[in-house]
């Protein structure tokens, strides 16, 4: 589950990680009120208005702007809220901005130069351990850093038996070239950040930039936080942090029906049991001359209700010119799935696109008979290649 | 011969009396698998499916000599079940449970590292040695005995591959579902290695998907091993959109080597017979064994 910057910062802050302070606002008036409150708390009269959407690169799309007085706060917040923000990580249509974070300006002048770093915490799949990845090159795309100056990226892997050790936190601070107060601040920052990552059951923290302020404080200016969905059962307080407005409406609807669905751009819809077979089916559609319109895993119980729900979801996409159902019946019997398809088809009334049903496994022969004798405009297949050939045929 | 499980394996079921455990244990017993009992804390001393129920895995090891376990325990308790099995001296731990928190698996995989055991899964269909033991949730009838080993991340795609192999008049030594989670006990490379070293296995089918380095590691190992046993490979997800599940930073660790295309290239370069179509796995295995 992805969080907004302001939500991620709240979690960080609750574990003692210093953050750039801010208040979330739903409209320009709230933004002005937020700015006034921040001024009274922090003394700063400059504010940064930041679009809250689940996408990186917000600054590049005009979603992060400095406001030097309350009038500018109102103007900028009014412009950003409601805009369709296009960033390198969104589609060309962009993402609608529903709220902004009004944040204190932390780049104030002082005794030293400010400095930006990069830091993330994530799982190293190769070793099965968490690691802290960090770089002196903050504020820019870490992909670019990895490509151009890979020697400026450091990692610190954590032994789960003992957790992050003080010498590791010191090594991070040394590698970032810090000394004095900033050094101490960084060791504390790293330790608290790692604690927050573990205690919140996150699967990704990306803090870019981590800022050394002019008075040598270390703080998180941005926060990308992803919580491990599998752990939500023990973090009931995080469940409400989900913002479905950030997700594809059709995917949310599919999720509520218990279907694992990902919307794609193609012309052949598919309904498959099992994620691996679903991906393989998408690949086969492509090889048959089509383009997959979706990924859809119906799961283990492909009964009439689920098949009907899946049909409805797939048919919402006007680009769909054919539907391929590919079920390998193991525990779930093919004849039951076939009956489910027939019942769903009848309940739906007319379906105006050709349907190819490929059922293999337990009772596949009975299933084929059911489909063939149903009188419906449904083509049956038993072999994988046969299904592909039929897709090719209907697209021709 | 076969690998991991056979007719002599003494298998227990953790989460034995739950609905999943009961259903699949019945299917396993019906297949002829040597299920010697099960574990459900608090129900020790009872009998379930004509087998004894134990409170702890250690009791099952001491009383019926269990050496293999299959875990159906719910996600919140599954990592604990894995560690309990390892602590009790179980040699093969097959974990079916889907949805275990990553943090729990970090702990479990670190805990079992120095124990004498092998973890398969989690989030996998299990392991089957046709005609001897089905320790998993796969439909047993699809798998006929033969000389082809199968390694796969996915459930139904494993059944598909087995079905294609069998329809070519061939059969399977052992099929290993390694699971699709970020942290799994046995990697593609380790499973392929087990099968390549099995004298009865004449060829291996290796099925992967996008993400991670497992297939590339297996391919590089295969090349370095100098083995003459043919391996047929398929990677699912050529058409899957990039970056849907992996975050920014995760993509860096994976590099650009984890797309279907990149994986296939590495596999081909290592002498693996890669098929682009998932419908051609069976045909290709027949061809390389001809």
| A282 → closest Cβ in B109, B240, B279 | B240
pLDDT of residue B247: 33
pLDDT of residue B242: 65
Query: Is B4 within a domain?
Result: no
A305 and A229 co-located in one domain: no
Q: What is the mean pLDDT of residues A311-326?
A: 92
- The band of B246, judged by pLDDT with boundaries at 50, 70 and 90, is very low
Query: How many Cβ atoms from other residues are within 10 Å of residue B131's Cβ?
Result: 18
Q: What is the mean pLDDT of residues B154-166?
A: 94
pLDDT of residue B244: 57
A118 and A15 co-located in one domain: yes
Nearest CA in chain A to B109: A128
pLDDT of residue A352: 86
Query: Is B2 within a domain?
Result: no
Q: In whole angstroms, what is the distance from residue B77 CA to residue B75 CA?
A: 5
Q: In whole angstroms, what is the distance from residue B114 CA to residue A131 CA?
A: 21
Indicate which CATH number applies to the domain containing A153: 3.30.470.20
Query: Is B222 within a domain?
Result: yes
Q: In whole angstroms, what is the distance from residue A272 CA to residue A332 CA?
A: 13
Query: How many Cβ atoms from other residues are within 10 Å of residue A250's Cβ?
Result: 16
pLDDT of residue A3: 97
B154 and B275 co-located in one domain: yes
> In residues, how long is chain B?
290
Residues of chain A neighbouring B241 (CB-CB closer than 8 A): 262, 264
Residues of chain B neighbouring A224 (CB-CB closer than 8 A): 247-248
Is a pLDDT exceeding 60 seen at residue B147? yes
B147 and B260 co-located in one domain: yes
| A275 → closest Cβ in B142, B180, B182 | B180
pLDDT of residue B255: 53
Q: How far is B161 from chain A (nearest CA, A)?
A: 10
Indicate which CATH number applies to the domain containing B108: 3.40.50.720
Number of H helices, E strands in chain B: 10, 14
A10 and A70 co-located in one domain: no
Q: What is the mean pLDDT of residues B165-176?
A: 97
**Which of B89, B120, B151 is the endpoint of a domain?**
B120
Query: How many Cβ atoms from other residues are within 10 Å of residue B226's Cβ?
Result: 7
Is a pLDDT exceeding 80 seen at residue B118? yes
pLDDT of residue B243: 59
Tell me the count of A-B CB pairs closer than 8 A.
Answer: 174
Give me the domain span that covers residue A118: 1-19+111-247
Sign of CA dihedral A200, A204, A208, A210: positive
* Contact yes or no for B234/A279 (Cβ under 8 A): no
Is a pLDDT exceeding 60 seen at residue A34? yes
Report the predicted TM-score, pTM, of the whole model to 2 decimal places: 0.93
Is a pLDDT exceeding 70 seen at residue B221? yes
C-alpha count within 13 angstroms, C-beta hemisphere, residue A290:
31
Higher-confidence residue: A338 or A173?
Answer: A173
A258 and A369 co-located in one domain: yes
- How many domains does chain A divide into? 3
Query: Is B127 within a domain?
Result: no
A225 and A273 co-located in one domain: no
**Which of A247, A264, A295 is the endpoint of a domain?**
A247
pLDDT of residue A331: 72
C-alpha count within 13 angstroms, C-beta hemisphere, residue A48:
20
Is a pLDDT exceeding 50 seen at residue B253? no
State the burial class of residue A331 (Cβ atoms within 10 Å of its Cβ: 0-12, 13-18, 19+). middle
Is a pLDDT exceeding 90 seen at residue A141? no
A206 and A263 co-located in one domain: no
Q: How far is A28 from chain B (nearest CA, A)?
A: 31
Residues of chain A neighbouring B110 (CB-CB closer than 8 A): 128-129, 159-161
**Which of B54, B88, B120 is the endpoint of a domain?**
B120
| B155 → closest Cβ in A276, A283, A286 | A276
Each residue's pLDDT tens digit, A233-279: 999 999 999 999 998 888 899 988 888 898 888 999 999 998 889 99
CB contact under 8 A, A282 and B251: no
Is a pLDDT exceeding 80 seen at residue A338? yes
A370 and A301 co-located in one domain: yes
Q: Please give the distance of CA B197 from its chain centroid, rounded to a whole number.
A: 17
Query: Is B203 within a domain?
Result: yes
Q: What are phi and psi of A68, to 5 degrees?
A: -95, -5
- How many domains does chain B divide into? 2
Give me the domain span that covers residue B161: 138-289
The ipTM is: 0.91
Each residue's pLDDT tens digit, B5-32: 999 999 999 999 999 999 999 999 999 9
Question: In chain A, what is the straight-line distance between the N-terminal and C-terminal CA atoms, in Å?
Answer: 41
A205 and A313 co-located in one domain: no
The helix-helix angle for B188-196 and B214-225 (nearest 10°) equals: 30
Query: Is B93 within a domain?
Result: yes
Query: Is B278 within a domain?
Result: yes
Is a pLDDT exceeding 80 seen at residue B148? yes
A124 and A193 co-located in one domain: yes
pLDDT of residue A241: 96
Provide the pairing of β-strand B47-48 with B51-54. antiparallel
Edge-to-edge order in the sheet of strand A100-104: A22-25, A100-104, A47-51, A64-67
């Amino acid at each position: 589950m992805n969080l907004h910057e302001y939500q991620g910062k709240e979690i960080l802050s609750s574990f003692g990680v210093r953050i750039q302070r801010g208040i979330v606002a739903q409209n320009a008036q709230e933004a002005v009120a937020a700015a006034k409150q921040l001024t009274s708390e922090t003394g700063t009269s400059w504010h940064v208005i930041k679009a809250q959407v689940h996408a990186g690169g917000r600054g590049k799309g005009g979603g992060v702007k400095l406001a030097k007085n309350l009038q500018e706060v109102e103007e900028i917040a009014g412009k950003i809220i409601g805009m369709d923000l296009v960033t390198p990580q969104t589609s060309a249509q962009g993402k609608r901005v529903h709220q902004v974070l009004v944040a204190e300006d932390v780049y104030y002048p002082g005794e030293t130069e400010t400095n930006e770093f990069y830091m993330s915490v994530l799982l190293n799949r190769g070793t099965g351990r968490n690691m802290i990845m960090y770089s002196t090159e903050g504020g820019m795309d870490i992909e670019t850093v990895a490509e151009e100056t890979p020697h400026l990226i450091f990692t610190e892997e954590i032994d789960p038996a003992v957790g992050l050790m003080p010498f590791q936190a010191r090594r991070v601070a040394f590698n970032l070239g810090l000394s004095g107060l900033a050094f101490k601040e960084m060791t504390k920052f790293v330790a608290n950040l790692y604690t927050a990552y573990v205690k919140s059951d996150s699967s990704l923290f990306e803090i870019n930039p981590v800022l050394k302020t002019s008075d040598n404080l270390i703080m998180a200016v941005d926060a990308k936080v992803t919580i491990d969905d599998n752990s939500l059962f023990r973090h009931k307080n995080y469940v409400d942090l989900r913002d479905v407005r950030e997700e594809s409406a059709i995917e949310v609807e599919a999720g509520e029906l218990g279907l694992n669905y990902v919307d794609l751009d193609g012309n052949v819809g598919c309904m498959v049991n099992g994620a691996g077979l679903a991906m393989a089916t998408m690949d086969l559609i492509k090889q048959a001359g089509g383009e997959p319109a979706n990924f859809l895993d119906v799961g283990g119980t492909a009964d009439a209700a689920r098949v009907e729900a899946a049909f409805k979801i797939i048919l919402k996409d006007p680009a769909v010119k054919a539907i391929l159902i590919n079920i390998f019946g193991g525990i779930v019997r093919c004849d039951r799935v076939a009956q489910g398809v027939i019942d769903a088809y009848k309940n739906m009334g007319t379906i105006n696109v050709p349907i190819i049903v490929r059922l293999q496994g337990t009772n596949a022969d009975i299933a084929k008979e059911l489909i063939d004798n149903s009188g419906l405009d449904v083509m049956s297949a038993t072999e994988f290649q046969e299904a592909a050939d039929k897709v090719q045929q209907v697209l021709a | 011969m076969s690998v991991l499980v056979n007719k002599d394996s003494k298998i227990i079921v953790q989460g034995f009396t739950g609905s999943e455990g009961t259903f699949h244990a019945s299917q396993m017993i019906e297949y002829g698998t040597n299920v010697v009992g099960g574990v459900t804390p608090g129900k020790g001393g009872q009998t379930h499916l004509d087998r004894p129920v134990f409170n702890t895995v250690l009791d099952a090891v001491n009383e019926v000599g269990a050496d293999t376990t299959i875990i159906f325990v719910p996600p919140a308790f599954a990592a604990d079940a894995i560690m309990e099995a390892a602590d009790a001296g179980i040699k093969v731990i097959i974990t079916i449970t889907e949805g275990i928190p990553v943090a729990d698996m970090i702990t479990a995989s670190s805990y079992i590292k120095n124990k004498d055991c092998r973890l398969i899964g989690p989030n996998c269909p299990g392991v089957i040695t046709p005609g001897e033991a089905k320790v998993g949730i796969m439909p047993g009838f699809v798998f006929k005995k033969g000389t082809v080993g199968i390694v796969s991340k996915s459930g139904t795609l494993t059944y598909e591959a087995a079905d294609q192999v069998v329809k070519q008049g061939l059969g399977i030594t052992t099929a290993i579902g390694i699971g699709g989670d970020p942290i799994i006990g046995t990697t593609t490379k380790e499973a392929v290695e087990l099968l390549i070293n099995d004298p009865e296995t004449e060829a291996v089918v290796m099925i992967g998907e996008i993400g991670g380095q497992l297939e590339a590691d297996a391919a590089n190992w295969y090349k370095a091993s100098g083995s003459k046993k043919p391996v047929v490979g398929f990677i699912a997800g050529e058409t899957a959109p990039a970056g849907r599940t992996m975050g920014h930073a995760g993509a860096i660790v994976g590099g650009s080597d984890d797309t279907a295309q990149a994986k296939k290239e590495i596999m081909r370069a290592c002498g693996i017979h890669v098929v682009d179509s998932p419908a051609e796995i069976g045909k290709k295995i027949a061809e390389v064994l001809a």
